């Protein structure tokens, strides 16, 4: 595989669309702790996209377009994102103190995660999670479909 410094090496890179990209960049940095990696503009100078990361979790933020838009415009979210972090309790308290809307309080799951969910400025749903124990999927009701 060729190394490309413009694209992170993780297996998936979500593109998330926003109505007000500039405000969201600051908010995701201040509230969720994301770090801006680079930004790019269209020829007229308008901000078009921003690559951000939290640890090794990378996302591409873009301005909404006619066919790709934000929950703010739709009035509902169509997907959620899960970010794995180590300092889950501290992150949760910081998110609350920053005034974010908590959708699901911090809890320990039967499948071995400590996690919570919050919405960003435009209604995208973010779940932050930490692995707290190793749990066999069949112990909590999952059916293993690929044992490879």
Domains of the chain: 15-65+77-133 (3.10.180.10)
Q: What band does 144 get if pLDDT is binned at 50, 70 and 90?
A: confident
Q: How many residues does the structure list for the chain?
A: 148
pLDDT one-digit tens code per residue, 42-61: 888 888 899 999 999 999 99
pLDDT one-digit tens code per residue, 71-95: 666 666 778 899 999 999 999 999 9
């Amino acid at each position: 595989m060729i190394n490309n410094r413009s694209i992170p090496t993780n297996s998936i890179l979500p593109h998330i669309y926003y109505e007000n990209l500039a405000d969201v960049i600051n908010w995701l940095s201040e509230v969720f702790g994301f770090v801006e990696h680079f930004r790019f503009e269209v020829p007229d100078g308008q901000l078009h996209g921003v690559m951000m990361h939290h640890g090794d979790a990378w996302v591409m933020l873009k301005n909404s377009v006619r066919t790709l838009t934000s929950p703010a415009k739709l009035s509902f979210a169509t997907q959620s994102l899960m970010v794995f972090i180590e300092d889950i309790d501290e992150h949760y308290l910081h998110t609350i103190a920053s005034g974010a809307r908590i959708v699901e309080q911090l809890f320990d799951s039967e499948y071995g995660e400590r996690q919570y969910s919050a919405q960003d400025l435009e209604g995208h749903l973010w779940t932050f999670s930490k692995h707290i124990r190793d749990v066999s999927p069949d112990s909590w009701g999952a059916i293993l479909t690929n044992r490879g």
